[in-house]
Structure 1
Amino acid sequence: MHGSEVFNITTPMQQFGFAIILFFPILAFITCCLRIYGRLSGKQLGMDDLLVCVAMAMSIGETSATYMFMKTNFIGIHITDVPAPGTYPGTPGLIWNFAVQVLYNPILALVKTSVLIFLLRLGGQKPGVRYAIHALNIFNIALMVAIFLVVIFQCTPIAYNWDPTIAGAHCIEQGKFYVVTAALTIFTDVLVLALPIWIFADLKMKLKMKIALICVFLLGFIVTIVGIVRLVFIYQAFFRPPGADPTYTLGFCTSAIETNLAIITASAPALRPLFRKWFPRLFSSATGGNSGYPDTYGHSGTHRSRITAGRSEPRHSIGPGLALKDLKDKTQYKVRSHSPSASEEEIMTFNGIMRTTAVRVSYADEEMKDPERAKEQRQQAHKEDYGMRTSISGSI
């Protein structure tokens, strides 16, 4: 075999590696699509969703580069079966290695920024949480830019990354750089994972639901574990003597696993409302029926009244013939007639913090038409429990 034909060598180990680096991006792509579909359906597409889309596009590029790197560097091939140096072009393998380095860190940083923006929706009312999120986001972005620039210019000239024949060229101590950046990535992972615990600790909800929400966000800990495994592989590659069969390993696949798992776990909280819609029996244990408040007033099903600046657009009446009077307010609210206290959809879908609000109901048209009847209906209404908990979504 001559030239590029040598790269056609493969083994079951290498094929298994290819399966790994394809499975996780496909799963991440499906998850990302479901996330965007759910947000578009609810008309709540935000910057956090767009950042995940950018990360997904970069992950596809990283997957392609990882595949080519494994082929051109004989990853998963026994060292005894690897062609001798000089019998095949070495430049392609070095180019693909450089491409993976360039794409890897920005993917993780963008996903973390997406998570931080999402958390800002939930805990933005608490000054301490808001400051912590902004500070961590600034640090994360600054770290991303710094690492990206160092990766690009780690060798002078840049072409020395894939052309070791350039005279007078030099590189930084790459082993130390990779270990430090991997450790910093893990450090920021831990900080991001700690924020949901802080945010949800003070939310007024059932303990069971609070724990469930925290667990959903802590799925990202799986990504941190993969990052630690990757750090171990990097350390062994640069600071330990090579093993007897150094190419017969799939340690390089950990980068693709980590980036795509990050996209998947970051999208998990956003998928909950969509799954509740598709599988209500499985995901509706925390609906208004468990809150101790009736779902509606005078009608069956779920009804909403949208109150906008200076006018009311009632979608239902409270009791027969009782219309809601216009409420003069310049702030847009969404008032729900069931309790969201145990629903993570309410928490994660709307920009706002859950509050208990007393709602005053005025009766206008009916009272003018038949004062006596309206008086009787008001008396009957006051006998019933018309306390309602509302989820107020303000532009904050």
Structure 2
Amino acid sequence: MAESLRGLDTVKGQQFVIVTAVFLVLVLIVAGLRVWAKIMVGRRFELHDYLAFASLICTTGFAVDSFLCVYPGTVGMHLLDAAALGMPVMRTTLKIFYTTGFIWITSTTLIKMSLLHFYSSIFLAHSTSSNRKGLLHYSAYTIYAVSVLYWIAQITLLLSICQPIALQWDPSRGGGHCGDITKQEISSAAMNMILDLSIVVLPMPVL
């Protein structure tokens, strides 16, 4: 009898892997073109470039973690089918899934920092009004600081919402408690959207 490929044996698991792989390849191509363009025009790499590269490394790690959630994990499988494989398999999936939270929040924060530094060095530096220039710089670094604080808060929540941490991947374990993970995820997503929208709107006055 062939060995079960777990999540890869399901249509949802296969779709998840394909979509993740396609977007990862696109991101890598865009990053490669960015490096090539910099080299061709002879421009040195700035802080925002290095922040983007760091985010790319995290994004790649996030994609790998996502693949591992499908196999040897069980993402894509019906819950009852996954449970039938036994708790060790379920724990493996939940452990891998838990680590994706740290990688995701770090990756998104790094790319926010990269964009904000890019705004400061390119768009904001070319503003013809000194008052507007000062306001935009102040706004950019305010969002920058809030993004870093948001990252610290989310890392702290990931480490503390379940005590002991092992409850994240083994809910049957006794002697501890977890906070409301659903509320934490909703508040995290809402704050992330607010920061993203702020970053999109920020350069509008100088475009």
What TM-score bracket applies, with the shorter chain setting the length? 0.7 to 0.9
* Alpha-carbon separation, structure 1, partners of 2:79 and 2:175: 31
* Alpha-carbon separation, structure 2, partners of 1:175 and 1:26: 31
What residue number does 2:49 align with? 49
What residue number does 1:68 align with? 68
Give the conservation status (yes or no) of the 8 Å contact 1:123–1:199: yes
Higher relative contact order (CA 8 A, sep 6+): 2
Q: In structure 1, the residue corresponding to 2:45 is in which secondary structure?
A: coil
What residue number does 2:16 align with? 17
CA spacing shift, 1:8–1:149, aligned 2, 3 Å: closer
Aligned positions of 1:357-376 closer than 5 A: none
What residue number does 1:132 align with? 139
What residue number does 2:116 align with? 116
Give the conservation status (yes or no) of the 8 Å contact 1:6–1:83: no
List alignment gaps of at least 5 residues for structure 2: 128-132
When normalised by structure 2's length, the TM-score is: 0.86
Give the conservation status (yes or no) of the 8 Å contact 2:73–2:93: yes
CA spacing shift, 1:99–1:181, aligned 2, 3 Å: same
Q: Aligned pair 1:186/2:193, yes or no?
A: yes
The structure whose residues are more often helix, as a share, is: 2
Give the conservation status (yes or no) of the 8 Å contact 2:83–2:90: no
Q: 1:261-311: per-residue Cα shift (whole Å, max 9, x none)?
A: xxxxxxxxxxxxxxxxxxxxxxxxxxxxxxxxxxxxxxxxxxxxxxxxxxx
Q: Which moved more, 1:38-47 or 1:143-152?
A: 38-47
What residue number does 2:204 align with? 197
What residue number does 1:162 align with? 169
What residue number does 2:38 align with? 39
- Aligned residue-pair number: 198
* Alpha-carbon separation, structure 2, partners of 1:140 and 1:163: 31
CA apart distance, 1:163: 2.8
CA apart distance, 1:88: 5.6
* Alpha-carbon separation, structure 1, partners of 2:7 and 2:76: 13
* Alpha-carbon separation, structure 2, partners of 1:157 and 1:8: 28
CA apart distance, 1:70: 2.5
CA apart distance, 1:150: 1.2
CA apart distance, 1:73: 5.0
What residue number does 1:26 align with? 25
* Alpha-carbon separation, structure 1, partners of 2:99 and 2:16: 18
CA apart distance, 1:148: 1.5
Give the conservation status (yes or no) of the 8 Å contact 1:69–1:93: yes
Give the conservation status (yes or no) of the 8 Å contact 1:73–1:93: yes
List alignment gaps of at least 5 residues for structure 1: 201-396
* Alpha-carbon separation, structure 2, partners of 1:149 and 1:131: 27
* Alpha-carbon separation, structure 2, partners of 1:82 and 1:99: 20
* Alpha-carbon separation, structure 1, partners of 2:69 and 2:154: 21
CA apart distance, 1:5: 4.6
When normalised by structure 1's length, the TM-score is: 0.47
- Kindly, what percent of the aligned residue pairs are identical? 21
Q: 1:161-214: per-residue Cα shift (whole Å, max 9, x none)?
A: 2233432111121110000010000000110000121222xxxxxxxxxxxxxx
Q: In structure 1, the residue corresponding to 2:202 is in which secondary structure?
A: helix
What residue number does 2:130 align with? none
Match of 1:144 among 144, 151, 173: 151
Aligned positions of 1:211-226 closer than 5 A: none
| Larger Rg belongs to | 1
Q: Which amino acid aligns with 1:190?
A: L
Aligned positions of 1:182-331 closer than 5 A: 182-200=189-207
